[in-house]
A = this chain, B = another copy of it.
Amino acid sequence: MGKKNKDFVEKITSMEDDFGQWYTDVVKQAELVDYGPVRGTMIIKPYGFAIWENIQGEFDRQFKETGHTNVYFPLFIPESMLQKEKDHIEGFAPEVAWVTHGGDEELEERIVVRPTSEVLFGEYYSKNIHSYRDLPKLYNQWANVVRWEKTTRPFLRSSEFLWQEGHTCHATKEEAEAETNQMLNVYADICENFLAIPVLKGKKTEKEKFAGAEYTLTIESLMHDGRALQSGTSHYLGTGFAEAFDIQYLDKGGKQQYVHQTSWGVSTRIMGALIMVHGDNRGLVVPPRVAPTQAMIVPIAQHKEGVLDKAYKLRDQLKDIVRVNIDTSDKMPGWKFNEYEMKGIPIRIEMGPRDIEKNQVVLVRRDTGEKDFVPMDELQERLPALLEEIQQNLYDKAFAHRKEMTSTAKTMDEFKQTLEEKGGFIKAMWCGKLECEEKIKEETSATSRCIPFEQEQIADTCVCCGEEAKEMVYWSKAY
């Protein structure tokens, strides 16, 4: 290994040695986030935010395409309002931040910094929905929310995070359930086709569902270390909030009816998935569709006559075709190679005096490290094709990894052994009882990730109690 590789070994911990440390190193070295001064808060740095902006843009586009409009609801919720839905307050009270003073004065009523906004939307809908003509309401907001977490990690679990939360009202259960499904599919589509992250689609168990929902649908992805990450959830709320907040409409027959609601959210946690699904020991790997910079031009021997000119010219030729950038700083090419590998930029374009002579460049793929000499006139065609190839390869790799890391278990012994030796997803049958779910968690520290839509009959009996099995569940240790 040359010096270039050695530099890296010093820079970040290898993921095989300590995956947690590898994650922290990548997040820091790729300049994604920094720690905020209040425990568990994060500063999203320019590169991290540029990736988030692209993710946001794609979600926003698809939300609008499916008929949703953006709104902005307040950060602050009066304590009494949060308490209106009993399950909801029980779920969230232990982890909220409380505002008690405004300026010098103590407030008459304590205020909650929103951990999620169901109650605010509930109160609003109650005042603004009167008739079937007012339905459906299809709202979304991009916002910051606060959850006072005990242990925190950038993107994965932070006291404050950014997200979108959709809140919709419908006349019927059928419509609301169709919406719940539709938004899960939007999430899955973006994860798979934009972020190159394969996901499992399914339903959460009663234990793991959102506080206040009838049921929660989820997409679950598998990280490189074999732990799962919940990557987006879509809740069918039924009429629970509608009853608590009195959201009724006059139907076509002149009868008062409660609306059926949904809510759904994706957060900056998805950045954690991006890092842990695609990253490697050289740093971050960003799929081309989401990459702020898809190709980085690094001039070689740039002090030599004509090199910089030619490099800028190339940048200008390519800039309408791919998101291209150029580094003409006086740092060494080796430093630049490392830097942009660490940042996971999909393609590096090297170009020195000898390449210019031959009217070619060197293309280096971030995902495989492969080098290729390409005639300059072919670049306009080759680059977009190569980006697509990288995108597909990242998806395929992640898919193969998940496949390899998915096992089945028919007994608890098998369950424990597989989890310990291999990790990953374990498919096992479940009787549907909370006590088995809790026992599995206690004994293995795996949680139920989802009851997948695509069921398989692995056995007839519950992996835990041996009684009649109701459904197959994906279990895993999780972030």
Chain A interface (Cβ < 8 Å from any Cβ of B): 34, 36-38, 41-46, 49-50, 52-53, 69-78, 81, 93-104, 111, 113, 120, 123-124, 127-128, 139, 143-144, 146, 148, 159-160, 162
In angstroms, Cα B101 to Cα A174, docked, is: 41
Partner of A98, one of B37, B53, B76, B99: B99
Q: Is the CB of B160 within 8 A of A37?
A: no
Distance to closest chain B CB from A159 (angstroms): 7
In the complex, what residues of B have CB within 8 A of residue A100's CB? Answer: 98-101
- B residues within 8 A CB of A46? 69-71, 139
Contact B72 A43, beta carbon cutoff 8 Å? yes
User: In angstroms, how far is the closest chain B Cβ from the Cβ of A80?
Assistant: 9
Q: Are B148 and A74 in contact (CB under 8 A)?
A: no
In the complex, which residues of chain B have a beta carbon less than 8 angstroms from the beta carbon of A45?
71
Whether A37 pairs with B74 at a CB distance below 8 angstroms is yes
What is the minimal beta-carbon distance from A182 to any residue of chain B, in angstroms? 19
Q: Within the oligomer, what is the number of copies of this chain?
A: 2
- Give the distance to chain B from A24, nearest Cβ to Cβ, in Å: 17
Given contacts A120-B37, A144-B144, are A99 and B113 in contact (CB under 8 A)? yes
Whether the pair B99, A103 counts as a contact (CB closer than 8 A) is no
Q: CB distance B37 to A81 under 8 Å?
A: yes
Return the 10 tightest CB-CB contacts between A and B, nearest first: A41-B74, A36-B74, A102-B148, A46-B69, A98-B101, A44-B72, A38-B76, A100-B100, A94-B103, A97-B99
What's the least CB distance linking A204 to chain B, in Å? 23
| A97 / chain B contacts, CB cutoff of 8 Å | 76, 99, 101-102, 111
| Among candidates B95, B120, B162, residue contacting A72 with C-beta atoms closer than 8 Å | B162
> In the bound complex, what is the Cα–Cα distance between A96 and B101 (angstroms)?
8
22 contacts between A and B (CB under 8 A): A34-B128, A36-B73, A37-B77, A37-B78, A38-B74, A38-B77, A41-B74, A43-B73, A43-B124, A44-B71, A44-B72, A46-B70, A46-B71, A49-B70, A50-B69, A72-B162, A76-B160, A94-B103, A94-B104, A97-B111, A100-B101, A144-B144
